[in-house]
């Protein structure tokens, strides 16, 4: 790095003290002629205040952190674009990290952000409360987007309890103090309504054996699925993959193989939807003739698919933007959670049930 123009240089060139320059540049009081002179000199010297000095003095880094599971997942790409748009309009830097859905990597990245004194963070969490404790203990302002951390794994956890709890969250009620609930604001889609709409739509087409294909972080959607179906759902009709495309494909394949009687699938995310299409094709199941498919997430390629995919769209970009707003404007008080609407977009991947 070349020798940098510092505030001292500007002060000398303008014949004033450094304090005055600082005041002028950060909007403090100064006489008009001084202000003008300082600004002129600063411009002439092409002076840029060093964020390093400022941050050290203020004991905080400007900007915010952003943690997502995977940038090749279009949905997280959209979410990130939203965050970046908001940050850009505020002129703030964004430090990004990709966790791969792995709590351990997530913890490492949190540690890295802590070292950087990044004190505001937007995250699509992969770990549980324990993973997030260090960040909160250090006083970070955290906003969760798209999902909430899974509860710590207590031995007495059963899916039903988890479901009820999570659905309460969805309605904006304070979570029942189960385990160690994190008091962190969040921006999520209305998964409950979105899934419900999808299930009702499929039922309206006559489907009765509907499966849910989820990925990491789709617990809330799975719970909403069970609730929307109403009657108890066979456990092997709700399957989970681990995040990678391979795992999603394997989960989809084994679902189709183990339950040849199913007539419809709800995929909990675009990677899962992709896997479902691929697996169905491989097994010679035609969509929607043999099996109907609704995918959570709208992505540009859903329309290109054969057939075009019926989806539950959630506003990824807005989600990111709102989360960034929240994390920036959080003036000490805990902001309200934000729940964004979803929309069922009917294309061609669902048909009436065939006997």
Mark the segment that binds DNA (CB under 7 A) among 29-37, 80-88, 250-258, 316-324. Answer: 29-37
In the list its own copies, DNA, none, the entry touching 39 (Cβ below 5 to 8 angstroms by class) is none
Alpha carbon dihedral 327, 329, 331, 333, in 10-degree steps, equals -60
Q: Which of 27, 32, 91, 331 binds its own copies (CB under 8 A)?
A: 91
Burial class (CB in 10 A: 0-12, 13-18, 19+), 321: buried
Which tokens is 300 given? 């540009």
* Residue 109 sits in the site that holds its own copies (CB under 8 A): yes
- Cβ–Cβ under 8 Å, residues 339 and 190: yes
Residue 177 DSSP symbol: -
Picking from 183, 238, 234, the residue whose alpha carbon sits closest to that of residue 214 is: 238
Mark the segment that binds its own copies (CB under 8 A) among 135-143, 167-175, 231-239, 252-260. Answer: 135-143
Least Å distance, CB 3 to DNA, is 7
Least Å distance, CB 118 to DNA, is 14
* Residue 97 sits in the site that holds its own copies (CB under 8 A): yes
Nearer to DNA, 24 or 311 (CB): 24
- Report the largest interatomic distance among the alpha carbons of the chain, rounded to a whole angstrom: 89
* Residue 34 sits in the site that holds DNA (CB under 7 A): yes
Which tokens is 196 given? 């419900």
* Residue 284 sits in the site that holds its own copies (CB under 8 A): no
Which tokens is 115 given? 């070292």
Which tokens is 329 given? 């404007």
In the list its own copies, DNA, none, the entry touching 277 (Cβ below 5 to 8 angstroms by class) is its own copies
Q: Which residues pair with 311 in a beta bridge?
A: 295, 345
What residues contact residue 244 under an 8 Å CB cut-off, 6+ apart? none
Mark the segment that binds DNA (CB under 7 A) among 57-65, 138-146, 188-196, 327-335. Answer: 57-65
Nearer to its own copies, 227 or 290 (CB): 290
Binders in 222-281 for its own copies, by CB under 8 A: 245, 274, 277-278
What residues contact residue 290 under an 8 Å CB cut-off, 6+ apart? 280, 354
* Residue 36 sits in the site that holds its own copies (CB under 8 A): no
* Residue 25 sits in the site that holds DNA (CB under 7 A): yes
Residue 135 backbone dihedrals phi, psi, to 5 degrees: -60, -45
Interface with DNA by CB under 7 A: which residues? 4, 6-8, 15-20, 22-23, 25-26, 29-31, 33-35, 47-50, 52-54, 56-59
């Amino acid at each position: 790095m070349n020798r940098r123009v510092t505030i001292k240089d500007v002060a000398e060139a303008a014949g004033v003290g450094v304090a005055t320059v600082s005041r002028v540049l950060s909007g403090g009081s100064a006489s008009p002629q001084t202000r003008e002179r300082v600004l002129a000199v600063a411009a002439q010297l092409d002076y840029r205040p060093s964020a390093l000095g400022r941050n050290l003095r203020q004991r905080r880094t400007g900007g915010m952190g952003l943690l997502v599971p995977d940038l090749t997942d279009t949905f997280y790409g959209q979410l990130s674009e939203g965050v970046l748009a908001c940050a850009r309009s505020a002129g703030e830097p964004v430090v990004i990290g990709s966790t791969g859905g792995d709590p351990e990597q997530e913890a490492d990245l949190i540690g890295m952000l802590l070292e950087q004194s990044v004190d505001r963070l937007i995250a699509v969490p992969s770990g549980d409360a324990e993973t997030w404790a260090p960040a909160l203990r250090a006083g970070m302002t955290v906003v969760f987007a798209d999902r909430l951390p899974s509860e710590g794994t207590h031995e007495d956890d059963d899916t039903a309890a988890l479901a009820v709890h999570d659905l309460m969250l969805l309605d904006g009620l304070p979570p029942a103090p189960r385990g160690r609930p994190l008091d962190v604001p969040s921006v999520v889609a209305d998964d409950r309504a979105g899934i419900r709409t999808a299930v009702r739509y499929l039922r309206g087409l006559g489907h009765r054996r509907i499966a849910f294909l989820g990925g990491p972080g789709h617990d809330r959607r799975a719970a909403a699925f069970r609730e929307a179906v109403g009657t108890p759902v066979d456990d092997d009709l709700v399957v989970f993959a681990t995040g990678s495309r391979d795992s999603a494909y394997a989960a989809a394949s084994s679902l189709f193989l183990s339950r040849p009687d199913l007539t419809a699938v709800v995929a909990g995310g675009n990677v899962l939807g992709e896997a479902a299409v691929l697996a169905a094709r491989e097994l010679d199941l035609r969509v929607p003739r043999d099996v109907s498919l609704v995918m959570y997430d709208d992505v540009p390629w859903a329309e290109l698919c054969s057939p075009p995919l019926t989806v539950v769209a959630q506003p990824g970009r807005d989600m990111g933007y709102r989360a960034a707003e929240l994390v920036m404007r959080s003036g000490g008080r805990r902001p309200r959670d934000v729940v964004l609407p979803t929309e069922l977009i009917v294309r061609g991947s669902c048909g009436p049930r065939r006997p």
